[in-house]
Homo-oligomer: A and B are copies of this chain.
Amino acid sequence: MKTVKIGLLGLGTVGGGTVEIIQKTLPEIQRRLGQRIEVAIIAVRDLNRARSVDTTGIQLTDQTEEVVNHPDVDIVVELMGGTGLAKTLLETALSNGKHVVTANKALIAEHGNELFALAKKHQVILNYEAAVAGGIPVIKAVREGLAANKIEWLAGIINGTGNYILTEMKKPGADFAKVLKVAQELGYAEADPTFDVEGIDAAHKLTILASIAFGIELQFNKVYTEGISKISADDIRFAEMLGYEIKHLGMASRTEAGYSLRVHPTMVPKSVLIANVSGVMNAVMAFGDHVGPTMYYGPGAGAGPTASSVVADIIDVIRWKDQPQADQVPGLGFAADQLESAPVVAIDTIETSYYIRCFAKDHTGVLAKITAILAASNISIEHLHQEPCSQNAEDATLILITNTVKESDLNTALAALSELDAIEEEIMRIRIETLGS
């Protein structure tokens, strides 16, 4: 039985989980693989720190270059994060002919195009299942399992922090700030939550999913990103009343003009399965022209789930590494010379229906003015609800659901609405997606 040697960059939560799987589940893995896996060397920040896993027999170093230059290491596993040193180290590893497994979504989304080219040049594999949706094997499912399809669209709950917050906001008395504070206390949200709640993390993952779905280059800087911090408890309540859930979705779809890549709060009918994904769990829907709607669900973060994907990637590298490159699954699922530099369309070109919430002075004729403005942009109202404003007894809260309109037309109408004297504060607008239902 051959032994494959792993060099690990980072021994934090996921690094520890990876070592633990290799130690604990090795007999089961060997029953599948027929080869041994051994962690030979791990780069850590502080050699003197106490470890949660047993590192007996493993060389520890605080010199990261030692791992990527180690002559015995077959596969470098990068779990340190960041896009600076991690990138330099992986470039060295790939150039040294070492296969790479990474869980680093930012690195793949922002620098993947160069890294995959470098891997191809040096005839090595760069795997990244853990970078999207943690323990869910969604990269494998889309890249291989749906390979017979032209993927028409995908939509995912790909940030557990955001989904936890939106789920908790359904409880009476909850609002964004309160729930965020609890999430921070529980360790679900960072002290600076921007990365999660403003959708940057989700945009990294969406960038990767869109590439493998459509066969396009990674284009993180073109993803439209809108966070969930402006969602109010009222919005959550109205969504519930109207038969929707508010989810922070990453969406990628084909349009006639190009690809639409976006992360934003979205109202999804409760009858769609993904609307029922709650708490920190993740789920990704992928719609193929032949298969129709499919969904992949599971934990999107945590030591065990993320390490599960890291080790599955290691196993795949071991199976594939001696094959001719042409027979391997390409890094982004499509042959490198077949990737399109496709145009990504602006957010205001999308067509969908919208939830609009505004506070208006409760005067005669206000509703007539609002509907006239909407009608002027060819927007018709599918549903209207008015109730006294919870914050100010003199105002009314107005909820409108529009028909399907072009976002640029909606923006024109919203700009005109906000000019009305009767409209107070900012107007809330949430996109509605029926996701094939």
Contact = CB atoms under 8 A, between A and B. Distances in A.
Interface of A: 17, 21, 25, 28-34, 129, 135-137, 140-141, 144-150, 215, 273, 276-277, 288-299, 304-305, 307-312, 314-316, 318-320, 322-324, 326-330, 333-335, 338
B334 A328 contact: no
Given A144-B140, A148-B29, A335-B34, A291 B297 contact: no
A148 B307 contact: yes
A10 to B, nearest CB: 18
A329 B145 CA distance: 14
A44 to B, nearest CB: 22
B31 A290 contact: no
A299 B293 contact: yes
Contact of A32 (B34, B310, B316, B334): B334
A34 B325 CA distance: 11
Given A298-B292, A298-B295, A312 B147 contact: yes
The interface centre, meaning the residue of A17, A144, A314, A329 with most chain B CB atoms within 10 A of its CB, is A144
Contacts of A316: 144
Copies assembled? 2
Nearest to A2: B326
Contacts of A28: 149-150, 215
Given A25-B289, A323-B327, A32 B147 contact: yes
A302 to B, nearest CB: 8
A298 B308 contact: no
Nearest to A286: B298
A323 B323 contact: yes
Given A144-B312, A148-B308, A297 B297 contact: yes
Contact of A311 (B137, B148, B295, B305): B148
A28 to B, nearest CB: 5
B305 A148 contact: no
B319 A305 contact: no
A54 to B, nearest CB: 17
A291 B144 contact: no
Given A312-B145, A323-B323, A293 B289 contact: no
Contacts of A335: 31-34
B298 A291 contact: yes
Given A297-B295, A312-B146, A329 B319 contact: yes
A135 B294 contact: yes
A151 to B, nearest CB: 9
Interchain residue pairs A-B with the least CB separation, the first 5: A137-B145, A148-B311, A294-B298, A135-B291, A291-B308
Contacts of A30: 338
A149 B290 contact: no
Contacts of A338: 30-32, 34
A135 B292 contact: yes
A304 B294 CA distance: 13
Contacts of A328: 319
Given A137-B140, A144-B312, 18 more contacts: A21-B148, A21-B290, A25-B289, A28-B150, A33-B147, A34-B326, A34-B338, A135-B290, A137-B146, A140-B140, A145-B312, A147-B311, A148-B312, A273-B273, A292-B298, A292-B299, A292-B305, A295-B298
26 contacts: A28-B215, A29-B147, A30-B338, A32-B330, A32-B334, A32-B338, A135-B290, A135-B292, A135-B294, A136-B294, A137-B145, A141-B296, A145-B309, A147-B315, A148-B307, A148-B309, A273-B273, A273-B277, A288-B308, A291-B308, A291-B309, A292-B299, A293-B299, A294-B298, A295-B295, A295-B298
